[in-house]
Amino acid sequence: MSAVRPASTDELFAILLARDLRPEDRTIMVGANMPMARAAAMLAGMTTHPDARILIGLGVQSLGGADEAPPVHPFLFDPRTLEAESLMYQSRVFDDMSRPDVFFVGGLQLDQRGNLNLFGIPDGEGGWKMRGPGGLALSTMSTHCRGYYVVMPRHDARTWVSRVSLITALGDATERERLRFPGGGIRLVLSPYGVFDFDPAGDMRVRSLHEGVDPDEVQAATGFPLNIPADVPRTVAPSEEELRILREQVDVHGTLAG
Amino acid sequence: MSTAAAGERRPVLASLDEALAVVQDGATIGIGGAVTAGHPMALVRALARRGVRDLTVVAPVGGIEVDLLIAAGCVKTVVGAYVGMEVVAAVGPVFRRAAQSGAVEVVELDEAHALLGLRAAAQELPFLPWRGGVGTSFSQLNPTLVEFDDPVRGEPLLAIPAIELDVALIHAETADRFGNAQWAGTGNMDMQLGAAAKHVVLQVDRVVSNTEIRRFPERTFFWRETAVVHAPFGTHPYSSGSMTADEQHLRDFAAAARAGDEAVADYMNRHVLDVEDDVAYLEEIGIRRISSLLV
């Protein structure tokens, strides 16, 4: 057996995201500050999704047949991302809301119903206890995309709350249906403890726990009662081949190695 | 008769200060660019030096330009979807403090709302409908966004009110002296900001001939009232089509902003307020640094 270094949390996230993409996903959008999502999109584009168009920064990339991922730059809208097959005009993205299939997002707060808050924590008197990044395009993308993935590097009871203070992206499946949202909503939530989705009533449920995590531990870190199936599966660990491609062809500078 | 002397075409080149004279206290200004790309920083620095007051700043996806104007005491209200420096500072540090203390009012928008609001203004409409934001806290945080049932299919939608600008400040790579502008990249929301504004003040890296512009007419944008300012490297510390953002400078600014008001004042004096013009600003940054950013 070769001694392959175990996956870091970000490497695990990237591989789990890439695995979960659906065959029909053709337009994948990657935002700022999510290197694991960028790596997931690249990994899929170079393996399972050769037809995918990946929107990164100012450009649109297509990686079918590529043996190397495009270079990583310090900022999303680096001018070198203009070396692309098409450009990402903000206006054109919003002019064709049927096109983006998938995007990825994190949040300050996530609740039992899948609602996300990026606005910040209000002080209860019309001001802010902590002002967050703001709306970005999260409301729009979460309303329209075929599906989105929530990546939460932090999993504690302050972040995973029974009800978010403010809603930036409405995840609640019941509300989404009532309001006739065209998009498919949250596909998965990833945390350092496990993989989560939502039960038929729209409450968060454990889909799998990562190696070494027990159900009591994840419940203790969550500010609401999790739906934990009796026989909860283990997350299928990254294979050596998945890690090899990720490290040698996608994340060549080891950004995710942590 | 003087009218018989068929006129020369009117050039619209101006100095920074001449062009910015249209910005009055209390004006609503739009600032182009997005995240770390294409902000018209030479215009922003000159405006901060002039010390205009009570501006409403529309920055769809804003950055340090909002921080600088707040630090210079020019801003009453910020309208937009984001103010920050991405990996350097998830929230612009001066903006965050001002928003938390209530020193500036924040009008929250989704990025698409910013586009729709500018379009509504350009189309001389009171609002345009949008779905993103329905069912969220947007209409609570920003009461100008109104949920309504659409009269055609009865679906719940959000009315995005027109964002009418007095002046749009925009960066483009090139323009001719008649105000025909061309970008190297996408132009972000600059075209829509220009279309929503009574006046456009355009800073460009290069002023080129009309013949040069005519080589790529499909890239040209123009507006009714435009002033063109020549400001090479004028997006620094942000990127243009030929220059990357200056990560070190942004980190230094973020560190100063986190250190407190005194450190911000030092930055402002050194780079914005006690600077004669944008050439003096670039001299202070230095040719070695600038050349290291060119792609």
Tens-digit pLDDT profile for residues A148-198:
999 999 999 999 999 999 999 999 999 999 999 999 999 999 999 999 999
User: B140 lies in a domain?
Assistant: yes
Looking at the structure, do residues B281 and B177 belong to the same domain, yes or no?
Answer: yes
Give mean pLDDT, residues B91-106: 95
Contacts of A118 (CB under 8 A, 6+ apart): A105, A107, A108, A132, A133, A134, A135, A136, A138, A168, A169
Q: How many domains does chain B have?
A: 2
Provide the percentage of residues in chain A whose pLDDT is more than 70.
Answer: 99
Digit-coded pLDDT (tens) for A45-59? 999 999 999 998 889
Digit-coded pLDDT (tens) for B151-208? 999 999 999 999 999 999 999 999 999 999 999 999 999 999 999 999 999 999 999 9
Asked if the Cβ–Cβ distance from A140 to B96 is below 8 Å, we say: no
User: B107 lies in a domain?
Assistant: yes
Domains and CATH numbers, chain A: 1-105+237-258 (no CATH), 106-227 (3.40.1080.10)
pLDDT band at B2 (very low <50, low <70, confident <90, very high): very low
User: B1 lies in a domain?
Assistant: no
Looking at the structure, do residues B172 and B201 belong to the same domain, yes or no?
Answer: yes
Asked if the Cβ–Cβ distance from A181 to B245 is below 8 Å, we say: no
Query: Does the pLDDT at position A2 exceed 70?
Result: no
For residue B26, give Cα distances in angstroms to B58, B64, B128, B272.
13, 21, 25, 21
Helix ranges restricted to H, chain A: 9-20, 35-46, 90-95, 138-144, 173-178, 215-220, 240-245
Interface test with A, best of B186, B188, B250 (most A CBs within 10 A): B186
Contacts of B81 in chain A (CB under 8 A): 134-137
Contacts of B194 (CB under 8 A, 6+ apart): B168, B170, B200, B202, B221, B223, B226
Nearest CA in chain A to B133: A139
Nearest to A146 by CA among A191, A195, A187: A187
Strand partners, B161: B127
Looking at the structure, do residues B152 and B197 belong to the same domain, yes or no?
Answer: no
The residue among B109, B141, B161 that closes a domain is B161
Strand partners, B221: B181
The ipTM assigned to this model is: 0.96
User: B246 lies in a domain?
Assistant: yes
Looking at the structure, do residues B257 and B239 belong to the same domain, yes or no?
Answer: yes
Digit-coded pLDDT (tens) for A17-43? 999 999 999 999 998 889 999 999 999
Nearest to A30 by CA among A83, A81, A91: A81
Report how far Cα A178 is from the mean position of its chain's Cα atoms. Answer: 25
The residue among B135, B161, B187 that closes a domain is B161
Q: Which domain holds residue B108?
A: 22-120+164-290
Amino acid at B198: K
The per-residue pLDDT for B5 is 61
The count of residues in chain A is: 258
Looking at the structure, do residues B154 and B35 belong to the same domain, yes or no?
Answer: no
B235 in A contact zone (CB under 8 Å): no
Note which residues in 259-288 of chain B have CB less than 8 A from chain A.
none
Q: Nearest CB to A131: which of B37, B100, B186?
A: B100
Interface A-B, measured as beta-carbon pairs within 8 A, has a size of 164
Asked if the Cβ–Cβ distance from B185 to A119 is below 8 Å, we say: no
The per-residue pLDDT for A170 is 98
Report how far Cα B47 is from the mean position of its chain's Cα atoms. Answer: 12
Looking at the structure, do residues B137 and B177 belong to the same domain, yes or no?
Answer: no
Looking at the structure, do residues B132 and B273 belong to the same domain, yes or no?
Answer: no
Looking at the structure, do residues B53 and B132 belong to the same domain, yes or no?
Answer: no
For residue B10, the distance in angstroms to the closest alpha carbon of chain A comes to 31
Contact B231, B14 (CB under 8 A): no
**Tell me, what CATH number does B281's domain have?**
3.40.1080.10
Interface test with B, best of A82, A90, A166 (most B CBs within 10 A): A90
Contact A104, A17 (CB under 8 A): yes
Looking at the structure, do residues B95 and B132 belong to the same domain, yes or no?
Answer: no
As a whole number of angstroms, the distance between CA A106 and CA A151 comes to: 5
Note which residues in 128-187 of chain B have CB less than 8 A from chain A.
130-138, 140-141, 155-156, 184-187
Contact A204, A211 (CB under 8 A): no
CA pseudo-torsion sign B101, B105, B108, B112: negative
Looking at the structure, do residues B186 and B100 belong to the same domain, yes or no?
Answer: yes
Contact A97, A140 (CB under 8 A): yes
B191 in A contact zone (CB under 8 Å): yes
Digit-coded pLDDT (tens) for B36-67? 999 999 999 999 999 999 999 999 999 999 99
Query: Does the pLDDT at position A216 exceed 90?
Result: yes
The per-residue pLDDT for A31 is 86
User: B11 lies in a domain?
Assistant: no
Asked if the Cβ–Cβ distance from A138 to B130 is below 8 Å, we say: no
The per-residue pLDDT for A1 is 47
Asked if the Cβ–Cβ distance from A176 to B135 is below 8 Å, we say: yes
pLDDT band at B4 (very low <50, low <70, confident <90, very high): low
User: B14 lies in a domain?
Assistant: no
Query: Does the pLDDT at position B1 exceed 50?
Result: no
For residue B187, give Cα distances in angstroms to A67, A163, B179, B203.
31, 39, 15, 13
The per-residue pLDDT for B6 is 76
Note which residues in 107-136 of chain B have CB less than 8 A from chain A.
108-113, 115-116, 130-136
Q: Nearest CB to B141: which of A119, A143, A170?
A: A119
User: B2 lies in a domain?
Assistant: no
Looking at the structure, do residues B168 and B196 belong to the same domain, yes or no?
Answer: yes
The residue among B161, B188, B218 that closes a domain is B161
Digit-coded pLDDT (tens) for A98-132? 889 999 999 899 999 999 999 999 998 888 999 99
User: B79 lies in a domain?
Assistant: yes
Digit-coded pLDDT (tens) for A61-109? 999 988 889 988 989 999 999 999 999 998 889 999 988 999 999 989 9
pLDDT band at A234 (very low <50, low <70, confident <90, very high): very high
Looking at the structure, do residues B56 and B137 belong to the same domain, yes or no?
Answer: no
